[in-house]
């Protein structure tokens, strides 16, 4: 050992000699390999030390392992020398910091923990810097940063404490718009854990189509239905009025045309993966739609979704009458469906998630614990807690803290190769 190393050990011994125990922070870094954690703690055993904290991260084959130990004063030189020898053997770098007392523990802030998820096809360093800066401005402390997805988007999760998530949402929404990335802010307190209810719009969300347009094409009324839709978008008709006007144009359509329209439906990429994963977790899933039960219910069954709330076309003598029967599933109806299902399943509102794309979804997006605007119109994005601007519905999983690796591992165990 050189003179500098001997001096370091002597300083450590003097520090330890002042009292019975000291806090030692040991950090190993280098190429990852099996057994590093085992070797470190085997080296530290047998001297009466207590483990106070451990943190470990592996990125691209590089390991950083940190351990905080409460160590008796006596064997300081022995332990320091042993750790340095271990690092040399493993061809890793070692850092050993000794404190005369345990680091002060900050008084807990009234807010709970937060998780911020940042997603983009091409995630810029400036986006990460902006998010970290905003957390610091709010007085928050980042405890962990990890990549949770590399496909179909890059998703990074920040986890920490010290700032109320509600205080971060508005400034991070501004960063999201400026940088062109999707950012979600969530509370990670105990009350957010447990079963969730996920309520999804159907047209242009779970599927890429508009059901009324598919039926209008079958009836030869595509242009007429489009004109009514344009009047509704211009504010001349509300949803209920436009629904009745468009359905009236379907009068006389044979019932078998519904099956033909259903066969033309294209699921949104990632819809199967999303529903399959949520079902594995035991979450409750519901589809709510201004479309029609006769088309949507079979789609829901194929996705393993048991709960469907939609409008029902009246059929008499094998033909559509041009009317809908039962309660209309409109903007208030979607919110009511979310609220009723939450009560039915005993799930608190804060553990509900709503996903939609249009003005008809605004009320349920606002009512949910987490409202997600999926490739949405501006009015829906403004009402939602966060937005997803990539065309992959399973990206929603990353906002829930579910990693791509976890999804792929579960699919592999079940022998599933279809990730659509």
Residue 261 · residue 222 · CB < 8 Å:
no
Does residue 184 have a pLDDT over 60?
Answer: yes
152 prior amide bond cis, ω within 30: yes
Does residue 338 have a pLDDT over 90?
Answer: yes
Residue 249 · residue 161 · CB < 8 Å:
no
Q: Average pLDDT of 129-140?
A: 93
Reading the block at residue 197, the tokens are: 């209810």
pLDDT band at 94 (very low <50, low <70, confident <90, very high): very high
Residue 22 · residue 71 · CB < 8 Å:
yes
Tokens 């699919």 found at: 411
- pLDDT > 90: percent of the chain: 72
pLDDT band at 205 (very low <50, low <70, confident <90, very high): very high
Does residue 331 have a pLDDT over 90?
Answer: yes
pLDDT at 12: 45
User: Which domains does the chain possess?
Assistant: 3-99 (3.30.70.260), 114-187 (3.30.70.260), 198-209+266-413 (3.40.50.1000)
pLDDT at 171: 95
Instruction: Report which DSSP code applies to 92.
Output: -
pLDDT band at 279 (very low <50, low <70, confident <90, very high): very high
Specify the pairing of strand 21-31 against strand 114-120.
unpaired
Reading the block at residue 219, the tokens are: 């009836």
- Per-residue pLDDT reduced to its tens digit, 32-91: 999 999 999 998 887 778 888 888 888 889 999 999 988 887 666 788 888 999 999 999
pLDDT at 112: 66
Reading the block at residue 176, the tokens are: 């999201």
pLDDT at 270: 96
pLDDT at 108: 46
Reading the block at residue 296, the tokens are: 């949507």
pLDDT band at 11 (very low <50, low <70, confident <90, very high): very low
- Rounded CA separation 193/334 (Å): 24
β partners of residue 158 = 116, 145
Q: How high does pLDDT run on average in the chain?
A: 89
SS3 71: strand
pLDDT at 192: 65
- Rounded CA separation 139/168 (Å): 11
- Give which of 199, 112, 210, 89 is closest to 164, Cα–Cα: 112
- pLDDT > 70: percent of the chain: 90
pTM exceeds 0.75: yes
- Per-residue pLDDT reduced to its tens digit, 346-400: 999 999 999 999 999 999 999 999 999 999 999 999 999 999 999 999 999 999 8
Q: Average pLDDT of 315-337?
A: 96
pLDDT at 102: 52
Q: Average pLDDT of 138-151?
A: 90
Position with higher pLDDT, 80 vs 190: 80
Q: Average pLDDT of 401-405?
A: 91
Q: Report the catalytic residues.
A: 201, 203
Does residue 2 have a pLDDT over 80?
Answer: no
- As to burial, measured by CB atoms within 10 angstroms (0-12 exposed, 13-18 middle, 19+ buried), residue 190 is exposed
- Give which of 402, 399, 397, 363 is closest to 383, Cα–Cα: 363
Does residue 232 have a pLDDT over 70?
Answer: yes
β partners of residue 284 = 197
pLDDT at 266: 97
pLDDT band at 17 (very low <50, low <70, confident <90, very high): very low
β partners of residue 196 = none
SS3 405: helix
Q: What are the start-end ranges of the H helices in 147-270?
A: 165-179, 211-219, 222-233, 239-248, 256-263
- Rounded CA separation 12/255 (Å): 85
Does residue 16 have a pLDDT over 50?
Answer: no
pLDDT at 18: 46
């Amino acid at each position: 050992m050189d003179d500098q190393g001997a001096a370091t050990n002597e300083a450590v011994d003097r520090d330890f000699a002042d009292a019975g125990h000291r806090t030692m922070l040991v950090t190993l870094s280098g190429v990852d390999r099996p057994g590093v954690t085992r070797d470190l703690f085997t080296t530290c055993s047998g001297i009466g030390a207590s483990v106070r904290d451990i943190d470990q991260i592996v990125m691209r084959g590089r390991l950083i392992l940190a351990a905080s130990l409460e160590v008796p004063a006596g064997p300081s030189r022995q332990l320091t020398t042993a750790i340095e020898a271990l690092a040399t053997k493993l061809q890793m770098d070692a850092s050993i910091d000794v404190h005369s007392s345990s680091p002060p523990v900050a008084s807990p802030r009234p807010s709970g923990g937060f998780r911020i998820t940042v997603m983009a096809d091409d995630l810029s360093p400036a986006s990460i810097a902006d998010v970290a800066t905003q957390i610091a401005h709010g007085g928050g402390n980042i405890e962990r940063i990890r990549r949770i997805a590399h496909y179909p988007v890059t998703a990074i999760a920040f986890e920490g404490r010290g700032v109320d998530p509600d205080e971060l949402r508005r400034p991070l929404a501004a960063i999201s718009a400026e940088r062109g990335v999707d950012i979600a802010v969530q509370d990670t307190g105990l009350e957010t854990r447990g079963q969730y209810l996920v309520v999804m719009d159907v047209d242009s969300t779970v599927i890429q189509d508009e059901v009324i347009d598919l039926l209008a094409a079958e009836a030869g009324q595509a242009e007429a239905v489009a004109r009514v839709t344009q009047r509704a978008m211009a504010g001349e008709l509300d949803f209920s009025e436009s629904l009745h006007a468009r359905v009236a144009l379907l009068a006389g359509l044979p019932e078998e045309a519904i099956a033909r329209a259903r066969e033309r439906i294209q699921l949104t990429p990632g819809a199967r993966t999303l529903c399959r994963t949520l079902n594995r977790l035991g979450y409750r899933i519901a589809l709510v739609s201004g479309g029609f039960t006769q088309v949507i219910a079979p789609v829901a069954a194929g996705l393993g979704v048991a709960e469907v709330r939609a409008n029902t076309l009246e059929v008499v003598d094998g033909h559509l009458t041009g009317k809908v029967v039962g309660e209309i599933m409109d903007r208030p109806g979607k919110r009511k469906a979310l609220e009723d299902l939450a009560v039915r399943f005993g799930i608190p509102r804060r553990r509900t998630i709503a996903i939609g794309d249009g003005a008809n979804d605004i009320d349920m997006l606002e009512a949910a614990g987490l409202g997600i605007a999926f490739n949405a119109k501006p009015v829906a994005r403004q009402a939602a807690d966060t937005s997803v601007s990539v065309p992959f519905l399973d990206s929603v999983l990353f906002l829930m803290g579910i990693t791509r690796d976890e999804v792929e591992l579960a699919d592999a165990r079940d022998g599933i190769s279809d990730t659509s």
